[in-house]
Each structure stands twice: as structure tokens, then as C-alpha cells.
Amino acid sequence: MKIIVLGGDGFIGWPLSLDLSKEGHEVYIIDNLTRRSIDKELNVSSLTPIKDLNSRLATWKRLTNHDINYVNINIDKDYEIFQNLLKEFRPDVIFHLAEYKSAPYSMRSAYHKIETVGHNINAANVILSSIIESEIETHLIHIGTMGVYGYSSMKNTYIPEGYIDVDINYENGFKEKRNILYPFNPGSIYHLSKSLDNLIFQFYAKNDNLQITDLHQGIVWGCQTDLTILHEDLINRFDYDGDYGTVLNRFIIQASLDYPLTVHGSGGQTRALINLKDTIKCLKIAMNNKHEKNNKVRIFNQLSETKTVKEIASIISHVSNTKIDNIKNPRNEDSENDLVAKNNSLIRLGLDPIMFNENEALGLLEIAHKYNKNCDISKIPSQPSWKNNNN
């Protein structure tokens, strides 16, 4: 297949591009390297020494004889260039991973709020309108987030896969059954932007009958895949800082430095998790199992399990003998919540998930030990970006 990976230099996009290329697909990466610019802005860098994209691609070609095309386009602005590329390349599939993806970063200041919303929703609109303008048949696969539903406690219930049947009782006595999007309840500007993405996808699916799959994903943990370990030049990004490092990766680097694991509040926050290799499997499952076009976005929950922050800390603390430090929560969120989400669709289509356990923690610790000399410990804690934080 001909495949465009928007955001192909990123944490998920890079190993995905290698995987697709290895399978013999013709892969075209579009990335404006903004994630690398944000590292400079935050004065931090990936724990693992990631090479520049051209070097990564040259090594891949040398090792496998596979070419991956690359162009630096800002997908939320350069729509004419993107449209021309679509007309020429005519992709069967477009993976859209090119978004600002950090909740704490999006809450830093007015500038970061405006950048995150402006970028993320413009990108969705540019991509979808360009697909129509260029008159191509393609399947757009986007990674959304489970975080759009918020993290309030839910007793005796669960998050369905995108839609829910409701009975509406109008004041005039009229009753109606409807299948609607499960309500969003974003807790950060980043999650708000992902909620708005959903409405943009719904509009284009309804109006233009485009083929769109949105994968509502949990927090991704892990770093390397079978292909990124082939050569040091192919190594994947490992973010550990308070803005971009996810909770599990930050605990891992803390443990490798014998720095107490900083659990926000009681650690009773429950989060959805998925391993990086499973993320790539899920993206390929979505690609290989097209759905009938029915003027509707197909939505899957893309997660393997849920765990509380204190459960994650306890596994890592146990294998590394590191202390746990409960600190004031810099986020404005419930101190405890339960989270149950259906992931039946991807399981039915073949996902056999890797669960986070002591063995997996040891594997990640090995990477962290190898590169922890690159770590700036002062960057690990999350800064309190949420105003009106009552926790």
C-alpha cells in the first residue's frame, strides 16, 4: 500500500514507519520536526540519543534497502503543498499522528493553549479538506485519546467505543432514541483539542462520507521495538520530562537514578495503558480491516489495561527498590477515580495485549540505566500549570 505517516519522526510515528516499510509498503513521512523544537523550548531532550530524521532514514536504507520518503511540511498550514502531494502520491492510507500531545504543555500559558488548539484542530481540517479537494480515495486513521472522557469516577459503568444509545425525553412529551457520541469531559486544553477533533471528523464523515477511524488511545509506555533496536541510529525517543514524559516512563527514569518515584497526591488516579508495540499492532489492525463507509467515524478504544498510578509506582518500586514520594498534585484532577473502558473491537480483530508487569519494568529499566547519564533530574517533576488547583 501507499501510506502517509503524518508525524513520522515522533515517538509512535517513527517505529510505525519502520514497521510499515519493513512490510513492503511505500511509506511517506510528513513531519515539520516541531516536537524537536519543543525540546529546545523546554531545554530538555529525549533520554535516548535520537538521530536527526535524515540520518535515521539513511541508516534504514543502508540496513534494509527500503526507501522511506520524507518531506518537511507544516500540516496545519501548508495545505496547498499537502494537496499536491496527495494528488501525486495517492495514498491508500493516511495515519494522522502529527499533533501537539502534552496535557501539561498545553496548560503552561495562553501561548501554549492557543498553539495547541490552533494547531491540532487546523491540522484535522487541513487533512480532511485536502482529501476532498484532491479527489482521492483514502482511509484516514487518527490517534485520539481516552483522556477526552475525563477522569471522573464512574461507578457501575464503562466507557463504550465512541457511541452510546440514549433515550431523550423532551419537555413537550416527545421521546426519541438516538445513538450519539459518548460525552466528552476534557481536563486539559490538549484533551479539549482532541475532543474538538472528534467533531471535525464527524462532520467530514457525515458530509463527505470519508473513511475515518479514530483510535481513542491510552497512555503509551515503552521505547524500543524489534526494528528500532536494529541500530543505534534508529533508536526511538524516550521522554522523561514533566511535560512530555508519561507517568510510567518518568517513574522508570527516577528508579534508574534512585530518585524517589513522585506520585501525584494519593496515586489513586486510574489511567488506561498500552505498550508501544501494541499501539503499532493496533494501527495496523485498523489499516488492514477497513470498515464499510456509512457516513460515520469508526471509533475504537485503544488500550490494554487500566492501572492506578500507585499500582504502577509499586511495580517499579518493587523491582528497583526505589522509595515512593507522594507529592502535591500539580494537576487539577480527581485524586481517585475508577476507569473501565471497553476494548472489545481491537481484541476481536486480533490484539493480544502486553500487560505492564515486573518483567516489562525491568526491560525498560535496562534502557534507562544505559542512558541515564543524559538525564537532567530537574526536568522530571511536573510544573503546576493548572490554575485553580484545589487538590
Ligand X SMILES: NC(=O)c1ccc[n+]([C@@H]2O[C@H](COP(=O)([O-])OP(=O)(O)OC[C@H]3O[C@@H](n4cnc5c(N)ncnc54)[C@H](O)[C@@H]3O)[C@@H](O)[C@H]2O)c1
- Cell matching residue 142: 487518527
Q: Site residues for ligand X, window 122-151 (CB under 6 A)?
A: 123, 143, 145
Looking at residue 336, the DSSP 8-state letter turns out to be B
Residue-level length of the chain:
391
Q: Does 112 bind ligand X (CB under 6 A)?
A: no
Q: Does 85 bind ligand X (CB under 6 A)?
A: no
Concatenate the DSSP letters of all residues of 187-221 into one string.
Answer: SSHHHHHHHHHHHHHHHHHHHH--EEEEEEE-EEE
Nearer to ligand X, 213 or 246 (CB): 246
Q: Does 33 bind ligand X (CB under 6 A)?
A: yes
Q: Does 12 bind ligand X (CB under 6 A)?
A: yes
Question: At which residue does the C-alpha cell 526507501 appear?
Answer: 67
d(CA 238, CA 224) in angstroms, rounded, equals: 9
Interface residue with ligand X, options 3, 4, 9, 282 (CB under 6 A): 9
- What's the min distance (Å) between Cβ of 32 and ligand X? 4
- What's the min distance (Å) between Cβ of 172 and ligand X? 42
Beta strands in the chain (DSSP E): 2-6, 26-30, 68-71, 93-96, 139-145, 163-169, 175-181, 211-217, 219-221, 261-264, 270-275, 298-302, 305-308, 324-327
- What's the min distance (Å) between Cβ of 198 and ligand X? 13
Maximal C-alpha separation, the chain? 70
Residues designated as active site: 145, 190, 194
Interface residue with ligand X, options 25, 35, 112, 139 (CB under 6 A): 35
Short-list 380, 119, 374, CA closest to 244: 380
Q: Does 254 bind ligand X (CB under 6 A)?
A: no
Nearer to ligand X, 118 or 295 (CB): 118
Interface residue with ligand X, options 25, 112, 119, 379 (CB under 6 A): 119
What is the contact surface with ligand X in residues (CB under 6 A)?
Answer: 7, 9-13, 30-35, 74-76, 97-99, 101, 119, 123, 143, 145, 217, 219-220, 237, 246
